[in-house]
Amino acid sequence: MAQDTPKDNTGFTLPAPVTAPASAPPAADAAAAASAATATTEAAPAFDAAGTTDTSSRDTLVGGVVLLLLFIAFFFAKNAYANGLVAKRVPPNKANASGWWLFIFLASLATGVVLAAVNAHKFLAPLFMGPLVLVGLVALLLTFTSSRR
């Protein structure tokens, strides 16, 4: 019950090859042949240099504002953490020190995240992230060790 009629091929087809015009002189070397071959193909649209804008300064400014707002929030979190430790009968000077270590940990973590968001190609390098991670880990360790009675 199968039909013996050929099906129409409506799928993808390659265009016919384009030959060089007859008035063009014969290519003497491979470079001339390659340039002639690329001249007959359609080039990708080029982006206008005047139309593109560099957003790195704007991104850095936005990242700095976000970081400043996070630092303000972390300062309130530091005070709440220190007050919570004092309520648990930890001496106030140790609770305050532990709160500052928490602030440093959170600040280093937020700085790493904001730098990665601003320019991941540049700031995710070990030169930038290594010291931030090291400071963050030391601050996290000191947060918990300095809050002991």
Digit-coded pLDDT (tens) for 77-86: 999 999 999 9
Q: Is 47 left (phi over 0), alpha (psi -120 to 50) or beta?
A: beta
Residues 6+ apart with CB under 8 A from 18: 40
Digit-coded pLDDT (tens) for 97-116: 999 999 999 999 999 999 99
Distances in whole angstroms, Cα of residue 129 to Cα of each of 69, 101, 112, 117: 21, 19, 7, 13
**What percent of the chain shows pLDDT beyond 90?**
52
**pTM value > 0.75:** no
- Distance of alpha carbon 51 from its chain centroid, rounded? 23
pLDDT at position 135 over 80: yes
> What pLDDT is stored for residue 57 in this prediction?
87
11 confidence band (pLDDT: 50, 70, 90): confident
Distances in whole angstroms, Cα of residue 140 to Cα of each of 13, 90, 102, 106: 62, 18, 6, 9
Digit-coded pLDDT (tens) for 19-53: 876 665 555 555 555 555 555 565 555 555 555 56
Distances in whole angstroms, Cα of residue 115 to Cα of each of 5, 67, 93, 106: 64, 10, 33, 14
